[in-house]
């Protein structure tokens, strides 16, 4: 990955983050007082044109997965973003429509991704402005790869009772029965009308995952078999992350000409994962 396109954030309290202009991609986040990354980033990631970085926080826009005619997960994650501002503890990146995006999707838009760090918290604010003369619809997500020590020890709480689409199980709709989602093989689910707060624990450490403006939460881990087919993931690294994605999939957003849509995902590092339920 070309280092000249990487932005480094450092808060006065020691929190750190790194972003890449390719995809407007958050690569890394280390909370204050910690020494290890809370995000997973594949060492085989590439930031090449048309390719998405594997790990960190890919920005999915204007189409989640295969929910429309565009290439999987849309084009924002592999487009080159501009830096609007960068301060020690925050940065704002922007992507506007251009000849390349209009060739794929004939809409005028301005995307803004703002990353703020400090203490135990990372906030990612995402906004979409319709700068054209006609309304458009989109689906979107912040496809966050959370680093975990061992996937078998992971429990994700807060989804019990929710309706979800089981994408790994033929797209059937089910209702979550368990108080904690656990990972034993492929998990690929879109939880609809998700709560604003979830908790992820993996034995050693825990995280609070909040979202606002996004209506759904996608939970994904490829499991060993599907991971083996991902050329940009080292063998065994499917055990080192779980994606908890703040998303809008079930009800695409309809954005009128001149209107803006705002959403965010916030991560808070919690110490002592074993004690956290
Ligand atoms: O390999 P990609 O294109 O980054 O997609 C990763 C995964 O992204 C998730 O959001 C989807 O639910 C999965 O179905 C998909 O496999």
Per-residue pLDDT of the chain (277 residues), as tens digits, is 677 899 999 999 999 999 999 999 999 999 999 999 999 999 999 888 889 999 999 999 999 999 999 999 999 999 999 999 999 999 999 999 999 999 999 999 999 999 999 999 999 999 999 999 999 999 999 999 999 999 999 999 999 999 999 999 999 999 999 999 999 999 999 999 999 999 999 987 999 999 999 999 999 999 999 999 999 999 999 999 999 999 999 999 999 999 999 999 999 999 765 454 5
Catalytic residue numbers, as ranges:
143, 245
Tokens for 132, please give them.
Answer: 């054209």
Instruction: Tell me which residues have their CB closer than 6 angstroms to ligand 1.
Output: 52, 65, 72-73, 143, 167, 188, 218, 220, 245
In whole angstroms, what is the distance from residue 134 CA to residue 49 CA?
Answer: 29
Distance 204 CA to ligand 1 centre (A): 26
Query: Domains (ranges, CATH) in the chain?
Result: 3-275 (2.70.98.10)
pTM: 0.97
Distance 225 CA to ligand 1 centre (A): 14
- Pocket of ligand 1, candidates 52, 70, 73, 243: which has the most ligand atoms within 8 Å of its Cβ, to mutate? 73
Q: Would the CA dihedral through 231, 141, 101, 95 be positive or negative?
A: negative
Q: Residues 217, 247: contact at Cβ < 8 Å? A: yes
Model pLDDT, residue 4: 83
Q: What angle do CA 42, 146, 196 make, to 5 degrees?
A: 150
Model pLDDT, residue 12: 98
Distance 65 CA to ligand 1 centre (A): 6
Rounded to two decimals, the ipTM of the complex is 0.98
Nearest residue CA, atom 7 of ligand 1? 220
Nearest residue CA, atom 15 of ligand 1? 65
Residue 206, Cβ neighbours under 10 Å: how many?
21
In whole angstroms, what is the distance from residue 6 CA to residue 107 CA?
Answer: 28
Model pLDDT, residue 272: 63
Model pLDDT, residue 1: 67
Model pLDDT, residue 274: 45
Nearest residue CA, atom 14 of ligand 1? 188
Q: What angle do CA 101, 106, 112 make, to 5 degrees?
A: 55
């Amino acid at each position: 990955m070309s280092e000249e396109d990487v932005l480094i954030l450092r808060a006065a309290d020691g929190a750190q983050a790194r972003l890449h202009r390719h995809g407007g991609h958050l690569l890394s986040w280390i909370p204050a007082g910690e020494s290890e990354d809370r995000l997973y980033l594949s060492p085989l990631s590439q930031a090449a044109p048309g390719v998405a970085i594997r790990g960190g926080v890919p920005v999915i826009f204007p189409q989640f997965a295969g929910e429309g005619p565009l290439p999987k997960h849309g084009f924002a994650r592999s487009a080159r973003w501009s830096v609007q501002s960068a301060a020690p503890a925050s940065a704002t990146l922007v992507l506007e429509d251009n000849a390349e995006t209009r060739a794929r999707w004939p809409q005028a838009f301005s995307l803004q991704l703002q990353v703020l760090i400090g203490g135990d918290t990372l906030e990612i604010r995402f906004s979409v402005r319709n700068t054209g003369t006609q309304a458009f619809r989109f689906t979107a997500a912040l496809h966050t790869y959370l680093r975990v020590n061992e996937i078998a020890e992971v429990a994700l709480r807060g989804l019990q009772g929710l309706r979800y689409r089981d994408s790994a199980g033929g797209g059937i709709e089910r209702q979550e029965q368990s108080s904690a989602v656990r990972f034993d093989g492929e998990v690929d689910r879109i939880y609809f009308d998700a709560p604003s707060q979830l908790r992820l624990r993996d034995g050693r450490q825990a995280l609070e995952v909040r979202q606002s403006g996004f209506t759904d939460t996608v939970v994904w881990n490829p499991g060993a078999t599907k991971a083996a087919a991902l050329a940009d993931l080292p063998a065994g690294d499917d055990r080192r992350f779980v994606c908890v994605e703040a998303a809008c999939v079930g009800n695409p957003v309809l954005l009128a000409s001149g209107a803006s849509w705002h959403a965010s995902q916030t991560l808070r590092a919690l110490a002592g994962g074993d004690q956290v339920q």
